[in-house]
Amino acid sequence: MGHPDVKYLFLNGDFVDYEEAKIHVLTPSVKYGATVYEGIRGYWMAEENQLNLFRLDDHLNRLFQSMELTWMKFLYTTEQFKDFIIELIKKNGFKEDIHIRIMILVISDDGSMISTEPMGSAIAALPMGRISKKSETGLSCAVSSWRRISDNSTPPRIKCAGNYQNSRLAAIQASLDGYDNVLILNENGKLSEGAGSNIFIVRNGIPITPSVSNNILEGITRDSLIHLFKEKIGLNPIERDIDRTELYIADEVFYCGSAMEVVPIVSIDKHLIAKGKVGPITNRIKSCYLDVVRGNDPDYEKWRTPVYK
């Protein structure tokens, strides 16, 4: 085991060697998926010798909401988590784009399904470039025959490890069927989201995205794009139900998420979107987003946390 680029991880208050970051197999985190987490990106700005973490406070805020909803106790304050994250990055000395995973675990030894303590926490910061090989040319996607989990069963609003069984089933099925990725409908047959990202479509020049009550994770990238569409591009996105057939006739469709960033979709269930070409609004919002996260756009400084002071 080991990671060529990562020396330290954070586990339960300590910075430990990559190989030492272990928990027991009988913890509720392993047995029942009782882990809530966040995925955050850090962007390296070579000219300024700086690594900017994107919307760190908002991710920590969502982490605290996930803990609240799953009866997990708050181990540290937001400020303490921030300090741990920044120290971990400095200890590893990253000077490249990274992805940070922060996990809150229920680590009672052979704990029962309802145990809520003791709690543990882990942070990993790993180098991560663009994750989709087709982020320029666009993906072919399937609408899954699986339905998205619901707020009445395992709420997608909670960023909980157990929720990703639903994503996994849908994504593996799509992959076995020969597609690059997947779109999942909710129990009402309306679009919810991808396996690990939110979705926008564009119709008649208007960006449209499922509303927060369509069984989605309330994505921070989704929120950023709503701001950027309004404030930078002059378009007013609509949040509403999206039918399956709207996907097939949309002018543009794209995924968005912290790890994914903005990735175009050029075919859905074999229907070509805009003749299989990446659309102009997708390209515009993508470059706008990348300028903001990297810090090439001086606006939205409040969304960037510099690591190296």
- Residues marked as catalytic: 159
Question: Which of residues 108, 258, 282, 305 is near ligand PMP by CB under 6 A?
Answer: 258
For ligand PMP, the closer CB: 28 or 257: 257
Nearest approach in angstroms of CB 13 to ligand PMP is: 25
Identify residues 149-208 at the interface with ligand PMP (CB under 6 A): 167, 193, 196-198
Binding mask 211-250 for ligand PMP (x = CB under 6 A): ------x-xxxx----------------------------
What strands, in cross-sheet order, belong to the sheet with 8-11? 14-17, 8-11, 119-127, 98-106, 35-45, 50-54, 304-306
For ligand PMP, the closer CB: 108 or 214: 214
Give Cβ neighbours of residue 226 (< 8 Å, ≥ 6 apart).
209, 237, 239
For ligand PMP, the closer CB: 108 or 192: 192
Question: Which of residues 111, 210, 257, 295 is near ligand PMP by CB under 6 A?
Answer: 257
Nearest approach in angstroms of CB 307 to ligand PMP is: 19
For ligand PMP, the closer CB: 214 or 221: 221
Residues in binding contact with ligand PMP, number by CB under 6 A = 13
- Residues lying near ligand PMP in the complex (CB under 6 A): 39, 167, 193, 196-198, 217, 219-222, 257-258
